[in-house]
Amino acid sequence: MSSFFEGQYRRTPEQNLSGVNYTESREQFLHRAHLERQKREDNRRRFLCSIKIQSFVRSYLVRKRIKQKEREEFAQILSANKNSVTLDTLNILTRKLLFFYHPETDHNYLISVSKLLLDKQFKATIVELTFYGPPTNTVWSLRTRKLLLLNLMLMRDKAGVKEFNNTVSLRLLEVFTKFDEIERYFSQQCHKQDMQTIRCQFINLLKYLIQNRFYAHLRVLLDAKVPPLLEPTTTPPTPLSQCLFDLLVTPLGLIGPSQTCDPHYSVLVMEELIRHIVLEPMTEPIKLYILPSLSHLNSFPYQTFIQTIHSNMKKNIRYTTGSSPSDTSPSSNNWLSNVNLLYALLSLDNSQTYLTNQSLDLNQVSAHLFVLGHASSQLVRLSRLSEDEEEEGRGGEEEQGVGGGGGEDWDMEKGGHLTRNEEQLLLECCTTLNENRFV
């Protein structure tokens, strides 16, 4: 036997360092397995989230790099062809602009392209491609809609900047939204059937603008650009005010079954007009200029105005009674408890000619009375407010009793506490209702 053997001649007993043998119960085993499975799932979810975040960052950087490249190419093409722009060049410039446009950095490029569209060299061609292009090629129709919307949003963003000149943007909107001029241009070279196609294209353009908050943008411009007024007037205080009013009433001129090829167009236009012009807090330009001008507009679709309010009020009533909660959202209760709506109804009311119209049926007359009845219920808030003020003036412990609590509950149910502006509107509504045409 070798004397250099360093091993062991016999095996030593193994010692279990984990302690006494431990047997898991079934519940403990399931709980441990659940925790391990949850840990693996968390790791897997964390890994997938990291992949998505990395993908998002990479896509953002790629888009930013490509847009910057397109922006540089746009600037090069524009400077190289400044005095010799062709229709093909305009096509490339428009396509690139819509791809990389950002309102904070590229509004000057938008103005440059808009000037080219208004140039007499391209104006007639672009109008023809927009409204009377081949059915298989609607590229210019889509581009024109987006350019009009971008110009309107640019005017809205720069409404408070006195140095900004919105002449080009406003002129572009006028050219492509005045159907009378477009119809006059095509009437000399198109058949009657083709004119119907042009009308449908024009309505689609207006629908795109309205669905993208056309009236909301106009409301911002009206509040910012119409100068202060002393009394109600139908005379435009400035040429810009007249242009903005013309833009506001342009979609209204195509309301009616004989005017539009889209049955949903009338409802869409009137709902957006009421939502952004009437239901919003009443400002001086709306109260003293827009509403009086609309009331003297012979083509104002008063019947559609009443029917739209009636249908939305009925939806709100079904929501509040709980019979159909999916029809509306709680925020849409403005149609029922809105002081501005009552004031607008009385300002635009032409019931003396509307209710005496022989073509009206019983449902239309009923809808008119229904709308006026529900809107007039806001006057009760004024009487309740005066009662609460009397109770507050008396002082004492009665102020904290049942009467005070009931007033607060009533106000919350009927639309909250009245602001000073709403109180003034209700007082004016009371004065209007006491006129001979309502008594």
pLDDT tens figures, 141-153: 999 999 999 999 9
DSSP sequence for 184-246: HHHTTTS-HHHHHHHHHHHHHHHHHHHHTTHHHHHHHHHHHHSPP-SS--SS-SSHHHHHHHH
Angle at 304 between CA 323 and CA 431, to 5 degrees: 90
Over the stretch 377-388, which tens digit does the pLDDT of each residue have? 877 777 665 555
- In sign, the C-alpha dihedral spanning 13, 19, 24, 25 is positive
The single-letter DSSP state of residue 416 is: S
Residue 389 has pLDDT above 60, yes or no: no
pLDDT(58) > 50: yes
Q: What is the pLDDT of residue 351?
A: 56
Q: Is residue 358 predicted with pLDDT exceeding 60?
A: no
Give the max Cα distance, the chain.
Answer: 134
pLDDT confidence bin for 62, thresholds 50/70/90: very high
Using DSSP's 3-state secondary structure scheme, residue 166 falls into: coil
Q: Which two three-digit tokens encode residue 320?
A: 């509040």
Structure confidence at residue 208 (pLDDT): 94
Alpha carbon distance 59, 360 (integer Å):
59
pLDDT tens-digit map of 390-429: 555 555 444 444 444 444 444 444 455 778 887 888 888 8
Q: Helices 192-211 & 139-157, crossing angle to 10 degrees?
A: 40
The candidate with the shortest Cα–Cα distance to 378, out of 331, 324, 432, 439, is 432
The predicted pLDDT at position 388 comes to: 54
**Which residues are within 8 A (CB) of 206 and not within 5 positions of it... i.e. 6 or more apart?**
177, 214, 250, 251, 254, 265, 269
CA terminus-to-terminus distance, the chain: 132
Instruction: Kindly report which listed range (201-210, 211-220, 375-384) carries the lowest average pLDDT score.
Output: 375-384
CA distances to 186, 279, 330, 366, 409 from 319, rounded to whole Å, are: 48, 19, 8, 21, 20
Q: What is the band of 63 on the pLDDT scale with cuts at 50, 70, 90? A: very high
- Mean pLDDT value across the chain: 82
The pLDDT assigned to 143 comes to 93
Helix (H, G, I), strand (E, B) or coil at 282: coil
Cα distance between residue 119 and residue 223, in whole Å: 31
* pLDDT, average across residues 263-271: 89
Most confident of the ranges 63-67, 301-305, 385-389, 391-395: 63-67
**Domain locations in the chain?**
72-241
Answer whether 178's CB lies under 8 Å from 250's CB: yes
Per-residue exposure over 332-362, b if at least 16 CB sit within 10 Å of its own CB, e if not: ebbbbbbbbbbbbbbbbbebeeeeeeeeeee
d(CA 219, CA 348): 18
Is 333's pLDDT higher than 50? no
What digits encode the pLDDT tens for the residues 30-51?
Answer: 999 999 999 999 999 999 999 9
Q: Phi and psi dihedrals of 12, rounded to 5?
A: -85, 150
Six token digits for residue 82: 């400044």
Given a contact cutoff of 8 angstroms between Cβ atoms, the answer to whether 225 and 160 are in contact is: no
d(CA 288, CA 284): 6
